[in-house]
Each structure stands twice: as structure tokens, then as C-alpha cells.
Chains A and B, each alone.
Chain A
Amino acid sequence: MTSVVLEFSGGLELLVDGKKRLEQEVPDKLTLGGLIGWIRSNLIKERHELFSQGQRIRPGVLVLINDVDWELEGKETYNLSSGDCISFISTLHGG
């Protein structure tokens, strides 16, 4: 298993029992797309469509890899390493 830190904010924390940050063991050799699918199946209890459609993150949810915009890191194709911090931030809630 690979150990990563997951962060949920901007309202997404409500999909994972209000947890904003969790240290999580995930299967080895996941891509970020694979991680998104894994989170959807294993951590999210309800309203899955607010997070992703399969491995495709919902448009309007920002993803950061170690605090860097995932668009600079290959998005879904990024290979997860132990110790990575992945942040999911919704922009879809009122302002």
C-alpha cells in the first residue's frame, strides 16, 4: 500500500464525513485518475456525482498535487508516490 495525504475543501469535505484532511493508505501504483476512482468507491458515501464521474473529476473541482495545480503535472496520468498530498477544492459553492 502507498501512504498519501488527502485534503477536501470548498464543501467537498461534506462528502467524506466532514473530514478536511486524512492520511490514507491506497493501493500501489495508482495514477491520479485511479486515485479519483478509488476515492469515489471507498471514501465517498453519498452524492458521488458531486465528486467525479468514474475517474473523471467533476468540472469545477480543483486538484492540487503537493500544492501545485495538477494541470502542470499531467492531470489524471500523474503517478502517485508515497507521501504525496492531493488536495481537492470545490469552486462550486456560493461566494
Chain B
Amino acid sequence: MAPKLCVLCAASRACLRRPKTSEAICKECFYSAFEDEIHETIVNENLFKPGEKIAVGASGGKDSTVLVHVLKLLNERYEYGLDLFLVSVDEGIKGYRDDSLDAVKRNQQEYELPLKIVSYSELYGWTMDQIVEKIGKKSNCTYCGVFRRQALDRGAEYVGADKIATGHNADDIAETVIMNFLRGDFPRLIRCSEAITGDSVGDSLPRVKPFKYTYEKEIVLYAHYKSLDYFATECIYSPEAFRGHARQFIKDIEVARARSIVDTIRSAEKFRTDPRTSSEQTLGACVNCGYMTSQKLCKACLLKQSLESDQKPDQGASQTKERGYHGR
């Protein structure tokens, strides 16, 4: 088979088919298209304002590694005027997080960005290893999800950040859309497709997703062709059955029709709740730690209390379990 030429520049050999457009393009055109589209998302969705401090959630995995690389590059290229920080969460899982944190530290040196690591043990007095030892592997993702979300907020507050940027990509968001659809969780179905979340409720930092329309395939190929240093491993405790099914479904429909992923996100954007039936929660501060919550105690403190008292987590915590984790 004769090598195909890039449909954009018609000069170099095509090296990939873009899932979003089915175009066959070369490496250089791919880099520009990839970076330009993320820039467009940042501009069109008003993700940042000049002078803001941005905490980039960095796990050492592919998405956050590419996010750090691209945000640093676009910040310089288009003069966003952002102050970038890396914030990593150490869940305390031996043989999983240690190696990926090393990847984060190498990124920190390469990109010369300040890094703050917050650990479950310093924040909550429990590592995930200790939690699993106590409660087993069954619902540990509930704890990890609640703790991680709050830990990232704490780390971002510590460095004085205005916003948190995460590496959630189009595939992740489409997956979450499917999960929230199956659960019938309408408010979350709408929220999960937004590029900025959390800025209307006041106390928590806004979270932005510059990769909202960026395909996982392209993130991985970008990292591969640019030889970016990332760490890939599965969490040793995570069965994540429900998300696993949604993920499999998204990957299967991608093979049949790659545009389905972005179409799933676009369709979720069209959902609207009836303002007459939606009730706004009032948020206050947790009486124990001061973190925002609609209850007396925040979810992290409830879970911590259950760990320390040998009781099953109560209502607030079990709701969280139903909703899954990672805050996607």
C-alpha cells in the first residue's frame, strides 16, 4: 500500500486518522490541530482570565502529563498570563502512587513548575492502604473519591490557586454522561458536560476541563509522538465495575463510529432541567473541618468518622457511593 499523504498539508506522510474528523494527517499538522483545538476550547468556554493562578491536577498519568505540557506551551504561545502550579494527591497506595508521583516529579523538573503534594495521611490521618486493611476492597473507591476531590481543593488552596484544571478528556466525559444517564441523575448529567464547574456555589474552587473535546486516542498519540514521560498503571484496589461497563461501551461505539464520543457530549449539553422542579442546595461549612457541605458534616468527615467508629457510613456517604467517584 502506497503511503497516504496528509490531507491538510499534502506534503508529508499521514501518520494518524483523527477520530473526530476521520482525516488522515501528518505529525506536524496533528500537533497544530491538537494544540489549536485546546486553545479554542479555552477561549470559547472562557476557562481562564489573565493573572489567574491555576492548580493543575497532576497524577503522572497520560492525561495530566499532556495537560501540563500543553497548558505551559499555550500559556507562553498565546500569553494567557497564567501562573501554573502542579498539585498531586498521594492516596497512600504502595506500588501504585509512588511510581506515578516519581513521574510527576520528573515533569515538575522538566517544566520548571512548583509542585505541591497533599497526602491522605496528613489530611485525614488514614492512607488508602490502611483504609482497605480496615474495610476491605469493596467500597474503598467511595472513600478515595471523596477524599481525592477534597484533597485537590486543599492543595490548590494551599498554593493560593484561583482555579483547578483537570485532565478529564472527551472519552471520560462521554463515559460519565452515560453513567449519569443510566442512573437518572439529571443534575449531574448536565453538570458533567460543562467545561467549568463549581464556580456558582461559592466556596469550592472552580474546576476547568481544557480537554473536554479532546479524544483519548489523540492524547495518547500526542504523548507517544512527543515522547512525553508518563506512568501507566491500574490502581491495585479499583474494580470500578459500573464505570468499567460505561467505558467499554464508549470504546465499542468509538470503533463503530468515532464521532459518537463528541456527539454524546454534545447531546448532554442540550439537556435542560425545568427550573420549577430543580431545587438549589444551600451550602454551609462543615462543623468539623470547615469544608463546604450541605449537611452538618462534610462527606470526608462522615467517612472518617465511620472509619474510626466501626460503623457503616451513614446516608450522606452512601449517596456518594451511588454517584461513583473521581468527580468526573
Residues of A in contact with B (beta carbons under 8 Å apart): 9-11, 14, 59-60, 62, 64, 67-69, 71-74, 78, 87, 89-95
Contacts and interface: CB of A to CB of B under 8 A. Distances in A.
8 contacts: A10-B220, A11-B233, A60-B254, A69-B15, A78-B1, A92-B247, A94-B233, A95-B169
B254 A91 contact: no
A68 B65 CA distance: 22
A90 to B, nearest CB: 7
B251 interface: yes
A68 B251 contact: no
Interface string B58-101: 01011111000000000000000000000000000000000000
A67 B26 CA distance: 11
B208 to A, nearest CB: 16
Contacts of B219: 91, 95
Nearest to A58: B251
Given A9-B232, A71-B17, A95-B167, A62 B24 contact: no
Contacts, number: 77
A92 B232 CA distance: 9
Contacts of A78: 1
Q: Give the interface residue-count category, chain B.
A: 35 or more
A68 B220 contact: no
Given A11-B233, A59-B252, A93-B62, A71 B16 contact: yes
B24 A72 contact: yes
B103 to A, nearest CB: 11
Q: Which of A74, A92, A94, A95 has the most CB of B within 10 A?
A: A95
B234 A11 contact: yes
A6 to B, nearest CB: 15
A62 B252 contact: no
Contacts of B220: 10, 62, 89, 91
B16 A93 contact: no
Given A93-B233, A95-B167, A72 B247 contact: no
Interface string B1-26: 10110000000011111000000100
Interface string B102-137: 000000000000000000000000000000000000
